[in-house]
A and B are shown apart, each in its own frame.
Chain A
Amino acid sequence: MSPKTLYDKIWDAHVVHEAEDGTCLLYIDRHLVHEVTSPQAFEGLRMTGRKVRAPEKTIAVPDHNVPTTPGRDKHIDNEESRIQVEALDKNAKDFGINYYPVSDIRQGIVHIVGPEQGWTLPGMTVVCGDSHTATHGAFGALAHGIGTSEVEHVLATQTLIQKKSKNMKVEITGSLRPGVTAKDITLSVIGETGTAGGTGYVIEYCGQAIRELSMEGRMTVCNMAIEGGARAGLIAPDEKTFAYVMGRPHAPKGAKWEAALAWWKTLYSDEGAHFDKVVTIRGEDIAPVVTWGTSPEDVLPITGVVPDPESFTGGKVEAARRSLDYMGLKPGQKLTDIKIDTVFIGSCTNGRIEDLRAAAAILKGKKIKDGMRAMVVPGSGLVRAQAEEEGLAQIFIDAGFEWRLAGCSMCLAMNPDQLSPGERCAATSNRNFEGRQGRGGRTHLLSPAMAAAAAVTGHLTDVREFMAETV
């Protein structure tokens, strides 16, 4: 038998039907649902008299629209947001799917709730009407975003019509240097390959630096595979994965656990498996990075300067000009001279407990800069509770951060947490697109530790100097 990649193995285990032209019907093990991309899909089922084929494999949670301030379980002010959340309440009930309503402590960002509750397991196929479904690839699950028509398709048939992507390997060799995190890895990879570098591929991240990451860090890396254009990101499961999964509410137990573990241990790319594209980056070469523009590929080490648009080629010249104009930046300006108005720590990229620990470690005993607006939005109610138990919440509050309830919040600003025109934000989220965090808002993407450092100094800051100062 010819050697297979991890992606090949998961794919092969889920093919229901293959047509002569290679179009496959792929079985879906877990379907995650949120309130923004699902109402039209449920409406489609109603109009055609169709049912949800596997409600026990379907998990819904409201996250995009929900306010992150108290009282939201009683009333949501914004009428359209309220209607969407109420529609999900009703659809979950009518179709009998698993549901974590706003009032449930387990509510949170769908990509944080799935792994936390043990819904996401190695070797599964996981889809959601959300591009950051790639997050679940950290478990060695084939996970990707789908549109609403496909949401309806999965609800009705528990399958997707798919053609197989190509295999891409991204290897991060060696170890990361102090102050460098999973976020810096994933941004640096996009900086290297571009936002279309992964188009048509499923990426497997591997190498020592990836193995050394925690599960939280691996989720951060896979989360942004989509920002590199890939259909999905994958990391082969190992002992860290199994330890994370074991004992979670929906993880297998007893004999089923043993059987699952035996299969999970076969989920790796075989020696000699073929990859269509390979990118290798030395872990030691990765610096703490920030974005300067309006595309996630606009990445530079924090020690850098704003680039000259003329230094690019093709369509990127005009795009970079437009970016600098939008961002209010000048070529040659030092990144560390860029002043910040707002700091946002949260999102499916960096809203997990380890992220809050990293930020709190920088903030302990410090205050945020005068006039700074800073907020922490934990990724789930359970992350929030754990952070409170560990004393992290108090560190954030003492430093001057707002301590919010769980949701997507300012990552995409569908709820009241938004930037004003010209407001400049250091954000641990995943997209710096024009208007993403609010019309005219300016976003710099970075790691939680870097975000915390910027909150204290009031400008983009090299967390390594900060670490040296605080020792």
Chain B
Amino acid sequence: MDKFTTLTGIAAPMPLVNIDTDMIIPKQFLKTIQRSGLGKNLFDEMRYTQDGAEIPDFVLNQPAYRKAEIIVAGDNFGCGSSREHAPWALLDFGIRCVISTSFADIFFNNCFKNGILPIVLPQEQVAALMDDAKKGANARITVDLEAQTVTSSDGQSFHFEVDPFRKHCLLNGLDDIGLTLEKSASIDAYEKTAAAVRPWV
């Protein structure tokens, strides 16, 4: 997993609420057995017509946002399915950070496993960043994970909360499985006790 430290990039405004994982990556692209290559199909049914032509109005098709690295989104981003193809598609497109008032639980978890930082901010701060993002490519938003701040192009800075363990993993690009395997002795001990207490499991 790539580290996440600081990021200064173009932010695409997506004010729609309840952007679900079926919108982020429709089911026909879940048939892959790989993690890579999904970026071209990110938001596929919003982004392309049925014959594959770009829909010019869609934000990521607009010249200013084609290289966006941040999305500022409406409430409850990533609701729906557990498909990790959603963060894989975002990452493959180049998105490293999503900012919203709220995220669906599984999507939120999945982001951290892929070096994407989901940031939760209060409504008025998301609105300010949404306005900033709407200015286009000249308005770059800066995210500093160490300092836990998001700064708009006009210098408004907002503090965000992040779980300390997840922050540590993101800053260092750490693999969860490796960390857990260091606790193998605890897992062995748990299994031994559980086998005695709940032998039917």
Contact = CB atoms under 8 A, between A and B. Distances in A.
Among the interface residues A27, A36, A252, which one has the most CB atoms of the partner chain B within 10 A? A36
B129 to A, nearest CB: 15
B96 interface: no
A77 to B, nearest CB: 13
Nearest to A252: B200
A436 B79 CA distance: 13
A447 interface: no
A149 B32 CA distance: 15
B20 interface: yes
Contact of B176 (A48, A161, A318, A412): A161
Interface in B12-32: 15-18, 20, 22-23, 26-28, 30-32
Contact of A147 (B84, B177, B186, B201): B84
Nearest to B46: A434
Interface in B168-201: 176-177, 179-181, 183-184, 186-187, 190-191, 194, 198-201
A206 interface: no
B31 A147 contact: no
B6 interface: no
Interface string B22-52: 1100111011111100000000010000100
A19 B102 CA distance: 26
Contacts of A263: 198
Contacts of A440: 50
A150 B31 contact: no
Given A229-B76, A439-B26, A147 B113 contact: yes
A131 B102 CA distance: 18
Contacts of B181: 156-157
Contact of B31 (A57, A124, A195, A414): A414
Contacts of B22: 431, 433-436
A431 B80 contact: yes
Given A17-B186, A37-B83, A414-B28, A50 B50 contact: no
Nearest to A157: B180
Interface in A190-229: 195-196, 199-200, 226, 229
A146 B200 contact: no
A29 B200 CA distance: 11
Given A25-B186, A147-B84, A157-B187, A434 B45 contact: yes
A281 interface: no
A319 B18 CA distance: 8
B85 to A, nearest CB: 8
Contacts of B30: 36-37, 64, 414
Nearest to B109: A147
A152 B177 contact: yes
A40 B201 CA distance: 28
A200 B161 CA distance: 15
A411 to B, nearest CB: 10
A379 interface: no
A335 B17 CA distance: 24
A434 B102 CA distance: 20
Given A39-B33, A421-B50, A319 B16 contact: yes
Contacts of B106: 131, 144-147, 226
A131 B183 contact: no
Contacts of B187: 16, 25, 27, 53, 157-159
A150 B109 contact: yes
Contact of B183 (A25, A295, A435): A25
A414 B201 contact: no
B131 to A, nearest CB: 14
A21 B162 CA distance: 12
B61 to A, nearest CB: 17
Contacts, number: 190
Contacts of B20: 295, 431, 433
The interface size bin for chain A is 35 or more
Interface string B98-109: 000011111001
Interface residues of B, number: 56
A412 B201 CA distance: 32
Contacts of A152: 177
A386 interface: no
A48 B181 CA distance: 12
A98 interface: no
A163 B109 CA distance: 11
A231 interface: yes
A277 interface: no
A153 B177 contact: yes
A65 interface: yes
A25 B194 CA distance: 15
A25 B84 contact: no
Given A157-B180, A295-B18, A196 B75 contact: yes
A83 B163 contact: no
Contacts of A156: 177, 180-181
Nearest to B87: A147
Contacts of B165: 19, 21, 23, 161
A319 B17 contact: yes
Interface stretch (A175-183, A254-262, A453-461): A254-262
A413 B183 CA distance: 41
A133 B191 CA distance: 23
Contacts of B83: 36-37, 147
B45 A435 contact: yes
A469 interface: no
Nearest to B166: A23
Contacts of A161: 165, 176, 179-180
B125 to A, nearest CB: 15
Closest 4 CB pairs of A and B: A252-B200, A149-B113, A80-B31, A315-B17
28 contacts: A16-B187, A21-B165, A23-B163, A29-B201, A37-B82, A40-B35, A48-B177, A64-B30, A80-B31, A84-B31, A84-B33, A121-B200, A123-B198, A145-B81, A146-B109, A149-B84, A150-B113, A153-B176, A195-B76, A199-B103, A200-B105, A257-B200, A263-B198, A318-B17, A433-B20, A435-B23, A436-B22, A440-B50
